[in-house]
Amino acid sequence: MMSIPSLTALRLFATLLLLSVAGCQTATPPPRTPITVQLSFTHQAQFAGFYAAEQEGYYAREGLAVTLAEGGPSVSQTNVLLRGSAQFAVLPADQVLLARAGGKPIVAISAIFRRSPRVYIALANSGIRRPEDFAGKTIAVGKGGRPQLVAILHRVGINDDQYTMVDPDPDLGQLTSGTVDVRAVWITNEVLALRRQGYELNVIYPDDYGIHGYADVIATTDETIARDPGLVLRFLRATLEGWTYTVEHPGEVDDLVLQYNPNAEAGFEAEQFAASVASANYIE
């Protein structure tokens, strides 16, 4: 005679059946949309918010698989955008303005720094303390920073033929050797590096002379916005959340950078990030 299953046995059987059905019905997560972000320079604390957005899963939550491409002096962020090699790029505000003024369909969608960290430095013993002292001097500044320099010098009454502009070297040797008198740098990077080496510097801030600018502008193209505005929104939302995370967790910056650049100097990256946060508000 067949025995009647106990209530406990029936419950166990039902539970196993539900688990089996649930396992068979588990849906494969939809593939994430691949996008590339062209950075303006090599991996460092300057881009910590992007790293946080990736490592903390904000991009994944928005359905994005993001590649952060290193930049540098040889990389044109605008050209990368225009040929479609990247959907987004990080570049100086003046480059966006120049590109747009030149008829290129580049659009700024956000700015990480509301005050540009770009400053001008001279050795402390040079006697150069303000833009008026740039007359007759040789100034190292990249092409992207030249509109700002011209604006400052015009503001203080110095004409274009009263100074010489040259391309900057990557290792700051022009300034320390006296080959150039003034160099455009970021206060969050080269100023820290030179002071660590023991150099005393005079730092000239464009804001002190009424020349304000954004920095690390996130840009895309008209075509990307028209084709998929939702993609732009998702990317921007996750990126800004990543930047909020880094500001709230500055102690994690070193680890974030080292995942992308194992040769980065821990400690210096955190110092750079602290200077970046401070530079956005250095005028009261």
| pLDDT for the residue numbered 73 | 79
Is 60 exceeded by the pLDDT of residue 21? no
Give me the long-range contacts of 229-238 (CB less than 8 A, separation at least 24).
231/33, 231/35, 231/64, 231/87, 232/109, 234/62, 234/63, 234/64, 235/35, 235/59, 235/62, 235/64, 235/66, 235/87, 235/88, 236/109, 236/110, 237/62, 238/53, 238/58, 238/59, 238/61, 238/62, 238/64
| Least reliable range by pLDDT among 13-17, 32-36, 174-178, 257-261 | 13-17
Is 80 exceeded by the pLDDT of residue 100? yes
User: Is residue 50 within 8 Å of residue 240, measured between CB atoms?
Assistant: no
Structural domains in the chain, CATH included, are: 33-115+214-279 (3.40.190.10), 118-209 (3.40.190.10)
pLDDT digit string (tens) for 190-215? Answer: 898 899 899 999 999 998 898 888 88
State mean pLDDT over 145-174: 91
Structure tokens at 154: 């015009």
| pLDDT for the residue numbered 68 | 98
User: Is residue 117 within 8 Å of residue 279, measured between CB atoms?
Assistant: yes
State mean pLDDT over 208-232: 93
State mean pLDDT over 237-257: 95
Q: In what order do the strands lie in the sheet with 106-113?
A: 64-69, 33-38, 88-91, 215-221, 106-113
State mean pLDDT over 70-99: 91
Average pLDDT, the chain: 87
Structure tokens at 279: 């530079």
